[in-house]
Structure 1
Amino acid sequence: MLLFVDNLTNVDFSYLHTERGMLGETWLASASLEGALDEQGMVCDFGEVKRLLRHFLDKELDHCLLVPTLAPNLTLEQQDGQVNLTWTYGANKQLTCKSPAQAIALINAPTITPESVAKWCIDKLKQQFADSVARLDIRFAEEAIDGAFYHYSHGLKKHAGNCQRIAHGHRSRINIWLDGAKAVHLEADWAKRWEDIYLGSDEDLIKGDQQLHFAYVSAQGPFELTMPKSQCEMINTDTTVEWLARYIANTLAQQNPGKSVRVQAFEGLHKGAIAEAKI
């Protein structure tokens, strides 16, 4: 008998890519369990399955940086609850990250893909289910977006939860209107501008030339990140989705004087902020 849970939850995270560097991502998670029926006529209790899976994904993946530990271009050190890593990618680009271990998911694979992360999850989870479960399957999929979207990573040090982690992110759609008309060309411009971007707050920038170094201490501990300047955009506020929507709206209003701008900026799946501006 097969028990399935479609669109169980979504996870927002960043991961390291061999060519593109650090990418913000959002995946939908689904699961299925195969096994014999117990005395209640169930493979597993639906409520318990959903609770366990959501707790695992929230703790192990959501708002983490996913690191493929078998990649040859990774240098990794772990000491005293901290992870220090260097990632070389693309045309001799490099990023470094120092973070509390709880903010890093070390995936035993050469690359981060929906399949490699699913296998890692299954290996960690399969012993937590009842003996009646013969096989556990987890699937990850991107949201189907028919318009413009971008991948961004950021950190929100003032956040009380896991958003405080310096390297987590989202795959997000964007909608823009000028004087009430959909501005598809502007959506495409921002999708390109923030294709694989790190959005940094001015107050977190410690130093920078061609490499920008960010650092802060939050409730979970000290965080540091060094990124190529070409893959960063600096914001003079925090990088909450509310501030990002306002930042885009104000930038477009300055570029289009006399026109009303409306921006719907998403933060991952089905959530975000709307900002309006006119100059």
Structure 2
Amino acid sequence: MQLFVKDLTVIDFSYCCSERGIVGESWIVDVLLDGSLNDMKMVLDFAVVKKQIKAIIDDAVDHKLLIPEQCSSVQVSESTFHKEHEFVDLAASRAQYYLQSPACAFAKLPASEITISSVTDYLTTIILAQLPNNVAGLELTLRPEKIDSDFYHYTHGLKLHDGNCQRIAHGHRSKIELFHNDNRSTDLEHFWCHRWQDIYIASEDDRVSKQHIQLSENAHSKLLDSHHYFAYQAPQGRFDIAVETKVLEVVDCDSTVELLADYIARQLKLQQPQDNFTVIAYEGVGKGAIAHA
């Protein structure tokens, strides 16, 4: 007997890539369970599927930085500054990134790269270990949202958030809709999606000096003049990141989707102050904010 749930959840995360650097991503999750009926004549109660399996997935990968342990471009080590914190050093083809975060902000996968296949295998093993014995099989389908227009991948952190959004390197794959004088502008959408492709978005308020950034010894020996430094203390712990200029956008606000929509609207208005703009910005799948200028 099989039981399925479509659109069980959306996982929003970032991952380390040896080519692209740190990439924000959003995948929709479908679940198919295979097993015998239990005493309630069910494979598993839908309430359990929606609550327990979603919670397992969220705890494993959602709002985390996914790290392929078998990738030579990534080094992970224990922090020398704080207990239960780790350093991550990523030397990608596109740019070099250096981080410190609580260990709970990272998910280390036994793979050479982060792909739908490697994340599916990782999650399947974790979920099956926590399901009742009558469930014999589990098929997960991870899929990106179908987007017919331009979209971008971005990574950020929200220091004021009391949940997992505070993690300094989690991200999203998002579309955007831009209206110029009430007419949708695919040219503006293309411009912003190209500008923010595989971008790290940081708040100017979180900027720190090189002397105050907390990174590994390896990181300090390889920092470039093009690196910028951001750090903050949040409920889960201390977060630090060094990002190169070419993969960075520094905004004059926090990077919530509401304020990012407003930021884009304000940039457009500055360029053409006599015109009107509407920005519909998405944060992952099916949620976002609208700003006018």
Give the one of 187, 190, 194 matched to 1:188: 190
Give the one of 65, 84, 88 matched to 1:85: 88
Range moving further from structure 2, 191-200 or 68-77: 68-77
SS of the aligned residue for 1:128 comes to coil
* 1:153-172 alignment, distance < 5 Å: 153-172=155-174
Give the one of 261, 265, 284 matched to 1:245: 261
- The AA in structure 2 aligned to 1:64 is K
Q: Distance in 1 between matches of 2:167 and 2:59?
A: 13
Q: CA deviation at 1:39?
A: 3.2
The aligned residue for residue 261 of structure 1 is 277
The aligned residue for residue 99 of structure 2 is 97
User: Is the 1:67–1:112 contact (alpha carbons within 8 Å) kept by the matching residues of 2?
Assistant: yes
Q: Give the number of aligned pairs.
A: 276
Q: Distance in 1 between matches of 2:263 and 2:64?
A: 25
- The AA in structure 2 aligned to 1:148 is D
Aligned: 1:32 with 2:35: no
The aligned residue for residue 216 of structure 2 is none
- The AA in structure 2 aligned to 1:86 is D
Aligned: 1:272 with 2:288: yes
- The AA in structure 2 aligned to 1:130 is P
- The AA in structure 2 aligned to 1:254 is L
Aligned: 1:212 with 2:228: yes
- The AA in structure 1 aligned to 2:86 is V
The aligned residue for residue 10 of structure 1 is 10
Write the deviation string for residues 137-183 of structure 1: whole angstroms up to 9, x where unpaired.
21210000001111111111011111111111111110001111110
The aligned residue for residue 222 of structure 2 is none
Write the deviation string for residues 182-208 of structure 1: whole angstroms up to 9, x where unpaired.
101000000000001111111111137
* 1:40-51 alignment, distance < 5 Å: 40-51=40-51
Q: Distance in 1 between matches of 2:232 and 2:180?
A: 37
Q: CA deviation at 1:38?
A: 2.5
The aligned residue for residue 247 of structure 2 is 231
SS of the aligned residue for 2:12 comes to strand
Q: CA deviation at 1:2?
A: 1.4
Q: CA deviation at 1:119?
A: 0.5
Q: CA deviation at 1:96?
A: 1.0
Q: Distance in 2 between matches of 1:177 and 1:94?
A: 35
SS of the aligned residue for 1:246 comes to helix
The aligned residue for residue 123 of structure 1 is 125
| 5+ residue gaps, structure 2 | 211-224
User: Is the 1:77–1:83 contact (alpha carbons within 8 Å) kept by the matching residues of 2?
Assistant: yes
Range moving further from structure 2, 56-65 or 164-173: 56-65
Q: Calculate percent identity across the aligned residue pairs.
A: 40
Q: Distance in 2 between matches of 1:39 and 1:100?
A: 42
- The AA in structure 2 aligned to 1:129 is L
SS of the aligned residue for 2:114 comes to coil
Q: CA deviation at 1:78?
A: 3.0
Q: Distance in 2 between matches of 1:117 and 1:161?
A: 23
SS of the aligned residue for 1:85 comes to strand
The aligned residue for residue 63 of structure 1 is 63
Q: Which has the higher strand share?
A: 1
- The AA in structure 1 aligned to 2:3 is L
Q: Distance in 2 between matches of 1:130 and 1:219?
A: 34
- The AA in structure 2 aligned to 1:241 is V
TM-score of the aligned structures, taking structure 1 as reference length: 0.96
Range moving further from structure 2, 225-234 or 200-209: 200-209
SS of the aligned residue for 2:208 comes to strand
Q: Distance in 2 between matches of 1:39 and 1:54?
A: 23
| 5+ residue gaps, structure 1 | none
SS of the aligned residue for 1:206 comes to coil
User: Is the 1:35–1:133 contact (alpha carbons within 8 Å) kept by the matching residues of 2?
Assistant: yes
